Amino acid sequence: MIISKIAFRNIFRHKRRSALTATMMAGGCFLFAIFIGMIDGSYDNLIEMFTRDRTGHIQVHSKGYLDKPSIYKTIDEPESAGDTIKTLDHVLSWAPRVYTPALAFAGKKTTGIKVTGIDPEREGMTTRLKNKIDRGRFISETPRNEIVISKGLSGNLKAGIGDEIAIIAQGVDGSIANDLFTVSGITGKGSGSFGSSVCYMHIKTAQEFLGLPGSVHEIAVVLTDHARTDGTVGLIKNALKDLSLDVEPWQDVESQFYRAMKADIKGNRYAIMVFTIIIAVGVLNTVLMIILERTREFGVMKALGTRPFQIFMLILLETAFLSVFSIIIGIITGILANWYLAVYGIAFSTPIEYGGYFFDRLTAKITLKSLVMPAVIIFGTAVFVSVWPALRAARIVPVKAIRSN
């Protein structure tokens, strides 16, 4: 108890020395909090863009569709399945889709495309595709022979708003499906490099075009929070009770993208390790300097009967108390910085592309991880690197220590 009081008072006895050590640890904690906050915020933003713009958080397909897509692997009662899914907790909306590869012709230009049939109303509530229209308008809610194409496809076919495009595909019955479609809109806002060969049409138009009355290939589900994806997958499986259907989270649907993101996160862990080592070396250097400055003090304490263990604990407690004060300051300033970045962000002069999406600003997120992890690392590192200097002080020979300058 006495050692604890002495350790606490020693922090304020040497204000300049304590301020130097506290600045080192508080600065490290502050930078850690911002670094982790920016990592969490950036990936959270990326996942939100990826799932809300493209895949949804969960997808339902006919068994084996993801491994080997085919127009014959369909969900025959999408309305019933969708209504069941909508009643589950954390489900925001759902949207049916129809897919098929096709050939598109416009003038003398020909290219392969991916036709996507969507329900304009449900798709508008599920993804942000409607907001990606750069020119023209979105697909009408009434089925018509009109399509929305990507900016890349518009450039390849040299087709603009109001132009007609001939599309040829294979129908479910084996016949050749072909028809003329008028371009009503062109996507391009924030869509990145994804979907350069995709065209969208009303789902009923696509079903009639392919001979798929009432059937779909996919049901995309969006949740209130992507963090609830894994738990909701199980809820949907239990609710549907259909072994002919696969229910997959976005991590499985876009496994290549997810693996790339996980590899990037792993690289950030190495950066955190390097940062930890730098902080540890700085704290160790500061504590060693303190021990050298206080050699005579420790010599006098031992001469008066202070046991080596008490000196050892004195130094550890001083470091622990100082680190706690520093962590409080670092966490508070880190929260304020992360809040500012979450609300305003830092604008990039040139947008950065990642996974087919362009980021025009750097954002952060206040999470429990960004609060606890820096505190634990700074406290643990400070106490750990103090062990060796504390042992050295505990082994001081009183006579030599008192005589030293």
Q: Are residues 141 and 282 in the same domain?
A: no
Residue type for position 267: G
In a domain, 263, yes or no: yes
Q: Are residues 220 and 348 in the same domain?
A: no
Whether residue 193 has pLDDT greater than 50:
no
> pLDDT above 70 covers what percent of the chain?
93
Whether residue 97 has pLDDT greater than 60:
yes
Give the span between the Cα atoms of 15 and 272, in whole angstroms. Answer: 30
pLDDT tens track for 63-73: 999 888 888 99
Token duo for residue 111: 């290219």
Query: What is the domain range of residue 29?
Result: 2-50+258-403
Mean pLDDT on 342-361:
69
E strands along 31-175, which residues?
58-62, 91-106, 109-118, 133-136, 146-150, 164-170
Q: Mean pLDDT highest for which of 97-111, 267-281, 359-373? A: 97-111
Q: Are residues 158 and 301 in the same domain?
A: no
In a domain, 125, yes or no: yes
Exposed (0-12), middle (13-18) or buried (19+): which is 247, by Cβ within 10 Å?
buried
Q: Are residues 225 and 305 in the same domain?
A: no
Q: Are residues 93 and 225 in the same domain?
A: yes
Whether residue 112 has pLDDT greater than 60:
yes
Q: Which of 218, 242, 266 is the last residue of a domain?
A: 242
In a domain, 339, yes or no: yes
Give residue 47's pLDDT band: very low, low, confident or very high (50, 70, 90): confident
Distance between start and end Cα atoms, the chain:
31
Stated pTM of the model:
0.75
Q: What is the pLDDT of residue 357?
A: 59
Alpha helices in 64-150 (DSSP H): 78-86, 120-126
Q: Are residues 382 and 319 in the same domain?
A: yes
In a domain, 138, yes or no: yes
Mean pLDDT on 390-400:
78
Q: Which of 242, 276, 294 is the last residue of a domain?
A: 242
In a domain, 281, yes or no: yes
In a domain, 27, yes or no: yes
Q: Are residues 225 and 95 in the same domain?
A: yes
Q: Are residues 89 and 215 in the same domain?
A: yes
Q: Which of 195, 216, 242 is the last residue of a domain?
A: 242
In a domain, 58, yes or no: no
292 — phi, psi (to 5°)?
Answer: -65, -40
Q: Are residues 279 and 357 in the same domain?
A: yes
Q: Are residues 223 and 265 in the same domain?
A: no
Give residue 401's pLDDT band: very low, low, confident or very high (50, 70, 90): low
209 — phi, psi (to 5°)?
Answer: -60, -40
Task: Decide if 297 contacts 396 (C-beta within 8 A).
Answer: no
Q: What is the pLDDT of residue 107?
A: 83
Q: Look at 212-216, 287-291, 363-367 and tell me which has the smallest mean pLDDT.
A: 287-291
Q: Are residues 76 and 142 in the same domain?
A: yes
Alpha helices in 294-367 (DSSP H): 295-303, 308-343
In a domain, 59, yes or no: no
Q: What is the pLDDT of residue 166?
A: 93
Please count the structural domains in the chain.
2
Give residue 285's pLDDT band: very low, low, confident or very high (50, 70, 90): confident
Task: Decide if 222 contacts 93 (C-beta within 8 A).
Answer: yes
Q: Are residues 332 and 294 in the same domain?
A: yes
